[in-house]
Structure 1
Amino acid sequence: MTDGLNKVILMGNLGADPELRYTGNGTPVLQLRMATNESFVDKNKEPKERTEWHNIVLWGSRAEALAKVLTKGDGVLIEGGLRTSSYEKDGIRRYRTEVIARDLRFTGRRSMAQPPPGLEDDSDATQPGAELPAAATARLGNGKSGARGRPPEVPVLDELPY
């Protein structure tokens, strides 16, 4: 018998901060609410937008790590499979469909009107030699990112050796 294919790929924004919980045996479970938007033109030639909400679940050590960095508004790409469960509430059988995520990729923030924490400084840190805020410097570290507190020097295109 041939196996089926249960694969979902979604790209959207988190509608709320993630919720990290643990099962009875201590396994981490991360629950996310994700919104995907669709723009279309209706039969009256009016532009419309529709938002779909998705329940996303991540399991294991990756769930713990992602709980520390994901926040409301983050853009993400999720790859996983659908799982539907049922339960009874007030004598009525209800169903819940979730995406069990196997992979999560960052796609950026929904808008840069709200900069990431630590980058609220008004100075233009994109200019070579400009000082970065202390929080950003701590994230960059001292590796190949240039002198401490400065972004790496970017060569002018005319100076490239090839």
Structure 2
Amino acid sequence: MLNKIIIMGRLGRDPEVRYTQGGTPVASFSLAVDRDFKEKANGERATDWIEVVAWSARAKFVQQYFRKGQLAVVEGRLQIRDWTDRDGGKRRSAEVVADNIYFAGAKSATPSEGNADEASLPQEVENSLEPLEDDGKLPF
């Protein structure tokens, strides 16, 4: 079976990190992902808010380098969870469990613009933030 999802969007909030009873970090955040089409009624693009969960080292990475408003690419799998709310009602929620999280978009001049503080990034991460050059030619 195949369960693979790749999404790109902006973080809707700073990642929230919690720890399991065993001490494993778990980061949760939402990505605002615009749809590819505009609504006929108002001519605007609808936005889907997709919940993302990252575990262990990925959770710490997200906590350290990502902030609200930053553009990110998440690769992972879709997970559906059934749970019971405080009133005893049965609930169901969907979330993406992140296997990989990547920086997207251009570098920011200041951290206040929503991107990670470049001075604190490791060199390999810093290099990955370079903008791609587009020569306008199709790759095929």
Q: TM-score, normalised by structure 2?
A: 0.72
**Partner of residue 15, structure 2:** 18
Query: Which contiguous aligned blocks of 4+ residues in structure 1 show a shift greater than 2 angstroms?
Result: 39-44, 115-119, 138-141
| 2:72 matches 1:71 | no
Bigger relative contact order, structure 1 or 2 (CA pairs below 8 A, ≥6 apart): 2
Matched to 1:31, the amino acid is: S
Aligned to 1:61, the other structure's residue is in SS state helix
Q: Is the 8 A contact 1:28 1:64 kept in 2?
A: yes
**Partner of residue 47, structure 1:** 43
CA RMSD of aligned residues (A): 2.8
**Could you say if the C-alpha distance between residues 17 and 47 of structure 1 is closer, same or farther in structure 2, counting changes exceeding 3 Å?**
same
CA distance in 1: counterparts of 2:121 and 2:90, whole angstroms: 51
**Could you say if the C-alpha distance between residues 63 and 42 of structure 1 is closer, same or farther in structure 2, counting changes exceeding 3 Å?**
closer
Deviations, residues 30-61 of structure 1 (Å, cap 9, x unaligned): 111111012524456x5221000011011112
CA distance in 1: counterparts of 2:56 and 2:43, whole angstroms: 42
Query: Number of matched residues?
Result: 118
Aligned to 1:108, the other structure's residue is in SS state coil
CA distance in 1: counterparts of 2:70 and 2:112, whole angstroms: 16
Q: TM-score, normalised by structure 1?
A: 0.63
Provide structure 2 residue ranges, at least 5 long, that are not aligned to the other structure.
Answer: 123-140
Q: Is the 8 A contact 1:40 1:47 kept in 2?
A: no
Question: Which of these two proteins has the greater Rg computed from alpha carbons?
Answer: 1
Residues 1-150 of structure 1 mapped to structure 2, 5 A cutoff: 4-43=1-40, 47-89=43-85, 90-108=87-105, 115-117=109-111
Counting aligned pairs with the same residue, the percent is 36
